[in-house]
Structure 1
Amino acid sequence: MSNGTEPAFSIQHEEGETRGRYVIHLDKGNAEMTYSKAGDSLLIIDHTFVPSSMRKQSIGAALVRHAVEEARHAGKKIMPLCSFVNAQFARHPEWNDVLDR
């Protein structure tokens, strides 16, 4: 799920009853974006982590884009408490349909 400017990564979605995460397994550690569920239709993204040696490679952006696409497909909204995710939403007004402030 790339827009052509980001490299393709294998993103796994791990979901529990009240929390979940999107994770990319890398040679130098895992990148992840975690969220809490608020009901059946809202994901509150609270944290994004990319190993320092892997930063500047659009890994975090790929995680956010993947979550946006999944939320859109499932009819859910995203509340970005994480500053990185909030900045990504500011850069991508086309994601406003899934944004919940």
Structure 2
Amino acid sequence: MRNETEVRNNIDATRYELQVDGGLGIARYERREGAIIFTHTEVPEALQGRGFAGRLIKGALADVRDQGLKVVPLCAFVSAYLDRHPEEQDLLATDAPG
């Protein structure tokens, strides 16, 4: 049984997922030329404001780092997360792919 607080890369659905308290948060992405392009982050309304999306993105970025990829934050939430976490900014792609 998978840990409920574990961020999972659902490659077939091209999204990262985090399931908490019966709700599923997602961070949609596209993968191109050595980068993950985050396009949308969504959490259930009942879980908003509890740090759920931040945990989702933190886990997603850890996986991106493990894969040796860069990030293009088209999603406003991911962009704001990176602004608040300078330790993650080395993941930013300097040349946006595609």
- Structure 2 length normalisation: TM-score? 0.82
**RMSD (Å) for aligned C-alpha atoms:** 1.8
Q: Could you say which residue in structure 2 is the equivalent of 1:13?
A: 9
Paired residue for 1:62, among 55, 58, 67?
A: 55
Matched residue type, 1:35: Y
Q: Could you list the runs of 5+ residues in structure 2 that have no partner in the other structure?
A: none
Q: Could you list the runs of 5+ residues in structure 1 that have no partner in the other structure?
A: 1-7
Q: Deviations over 1:41-97 (max 9, x none)?
A: 100000000111101111110111111111111110010000011000000111111
Query: Structure 1 stretches (4+) deviating beyond 3 angstroms?
Result: 26-29
Count of matched residue pairs? 91
Query: For the Cα contact (< 8 Å) 1:28–1:51, is it kept in 2?
Result: no
Query: For the Cα contact (< 8 Å) 1:49–1:60, is it kept in 2?
Result: yes
- Structure 1 length normalisation: TM-score? 0.80
Q: Could you say which residue in structure 2 is the equivalent of 1:25?
A: 19
Hey, what's the Cα distance between the residues in 2 that align with 1:28 and 1:65? 20
Hey, what's the Cα distance between the residues in 1 that align with 2:19 and 2:69? 25
Bigger fraction of residues in helix: 2
Paired residue for 1:73, among 66, 70, 74?
A: 66
